[in-house]
Structure 1
């Protein structure tokens, strides 16, 4: 008798400057689901996907996959297929640099197991740990030997100071955005690296210093690993803020993305004892919102300022995100991001 393997994970990151959700779970026949091919990008260490010409990667699927390997299979998942793309994707998931060690324990819930009792436990336990979770209960009817692996991820951060709304330009089109218009707002913007107005990396200061929100313009938009390496090389403990004559402006972003891992669906396992299992469904939803506002959760912050020596006035720098750029979110004590977004066009923006 054939049995099926369900890989499930919900990951949510919520920011009022940015709001993300990751959701992976199998649909039962009572929950019809139309599979969509979202053009996986398997370059580098990240299994990103395409959303209307923009690159999207979230770390929740890695959590669900690792949980399946560690708790159920007791080894790395192996596929019974000659499909080279499926094998490469499984290899990248098996050897991904991102894991739950790159997160704080308070921000995730992970569970795997067999049958409907596991689904019921997931619904009960995830809601208890995260009362504000926006996803409803999983509605599934799993057979006793069906397998589910599930991960839920919630992250809330906020700017130290709210920015001002303003009109921005991106690729020559007017879109809604926000700017740093006063001293306190400019102190939100830390310079990681500046080469010129068309190539720079900045960090938006958050109240909770344990998370980082980084923006990078002018770098290769086809290889997220390159920008991650560049950030890790240059992201120092003490960074200067933009100056009084410098300008910062960014578009508001909104992403609501569904992804099916079509390359892996219906593939059978080759692991001993699990040869009759196949991946029935494997998908995720990612939502991300970034604007001028702060987050829903208040956190006490400590601001450290250093005294600077008197210098000759510098030419004003423009940190204007008007061309393709990267959005990277990570823990301050980790080199591995939990979210990467490559912004290439206005599909994520509100055109005026």
Structure 2
């Protein structure tokens, strides 16, 4: 049966920590994730999730609070987000040490160290240095990771169609390029899971089409259950593969959590200040690059309750003046006093 592999909707890049003499092709991963605790968001109607926020969050829990973060709030959305971050299955063991940088600590000195050390470890880091001012008792937790992967063989570039629109993309035209593609499961042309083989098989890149875009749980579970040597198959010379190039540059601010006081022992006079992440992702005919950082600041001092500002009404419904003058002069060149409706346009 001729299988057409044309449009791919979801992209997942995962890291595998394996002994150097074991190929990922021989690994059998039968476990499933236990919960749907991926706190993704939507950017231009596209689901996005990166692991850096979990790395920073975990480091704050482990090295500063010495327990999981608790908030002093009744805000249901904030509490649900904290639960997902506290219970996320992702941690630094899901990456190789060379690909990430994590640090938490107190005061401006920690911010300066983060900027220096992260830039030193990752000279190709494209994200700007942190521009955050902290007091000596304020806390910062930071995480950054960078992954750059190449396919075993480059694909050919061409324009492709996505949702009836013509976009830049790439495709497989010869045996070497088709050999990049391994099939985990093919249901039909509108539902399948494949992987693209990489030069360094410590990482894996999967593409899935035909699944709900509201949660990645189903497709991650399937990848984990199907990703073994017995299931993998190759496409044949008549099969087709093409997909669009992808470019993402996204900042997410976790406004739902800002200004929320902590309920952890010894930290009840702290509240969450800034909390954000930056994600960059590019995928083309050569390979893929993902860059992700997250920063959390926890500020010392209770939040001062702010009085609701009085609503001021600038409504000209009684006699008023109109005065016109040059900016560099103290003398008006026109003055008009409105006392009635004689000069006003009536309906």
Mark yes or no: TM-score above 0.5: yes
The answer as to whether partners of 1:191 and 1:203 remain within 8 angstroms in 2 is: yes
Equivalent of residue 149 in structure 1, options 131, 141, 151 = 141
Give the corresponding residue for 1:292.
Answer: 285
Q: 2:142 aligns to what SS in structure 1?
A: strand
Give the corresponding residue for 1:250.
Answer: 243
The answer as to whether partners of 1:161 and 1:294 remain within 8 angstroms in 2 is: no
Give the corresponding residue for 1:184.
Answer: 176
In the aligned structure 2, how far is the partner of 1:153 from the partner of 1:232?
23
The answer as to whether partners of 2:155 and 2:177 remain within 8 angstroms in 1 is: yes
Shift of 1:184: 0.4
Deviations for 1:222-246, whole angstroms, at most 9, x for unmatched residues?
2211110011111113522211110
RMSD of aligned C-alpha atoms? 2.0
Does 1:66 find its partner at 2:58? Answer: yes
Q: 1:279 aligns to what SS in structure 2?
A: strand
Where do 4+ consecutive residues of structure 1 move more than 4 Å? none
The TM-score normalised by the length of structure 2 is 0.71
In the aligned structure 2, how far is the partner of 1:125 from the partner of 1:222?
37
Shift of 1:151: 0.5
- In structure 2, do the counterparts of structure 1 residues 93 and 294 end up closer, same or farther at CA, with 3 Å as the change threshold? closer
Q: 1:117 aligns to what SS in structure 2?
A: helix
Equivalent of residue 222 in structure 2, options 217, 220, 230 = 230
Give the corresponding residue for 1:96.
Answer: 88
Does 1:262 find its partner at 2:238? Answer: no
Deviations for 1:136-189, whole angstroms, at most 9, x for unmatched residues?
332332110010001111111101111001121111111111100110000011
Shift of 1:95: 0.7
Q: 1:113 aligns to what SS in structure 2?
A: strand
Higher relative contact order (CA 8 A, sep 6+): 1
Unaligned runs of 5+ in 2: 1-10, 14-34, 293-347
The TM-score normalised by the length of structure 1 is 0.70
Shift of 1:295: 6.5
Does 1:137 find its partner at 2:157? Answer: no
Deviations for 1:187-208, whole angstroms, at most 9, x for unmatched residues?
0111011111111000011001
Unaligned runs of 5+ in 1: 1-17, 21-42, 297-328, 330-337, 339-352
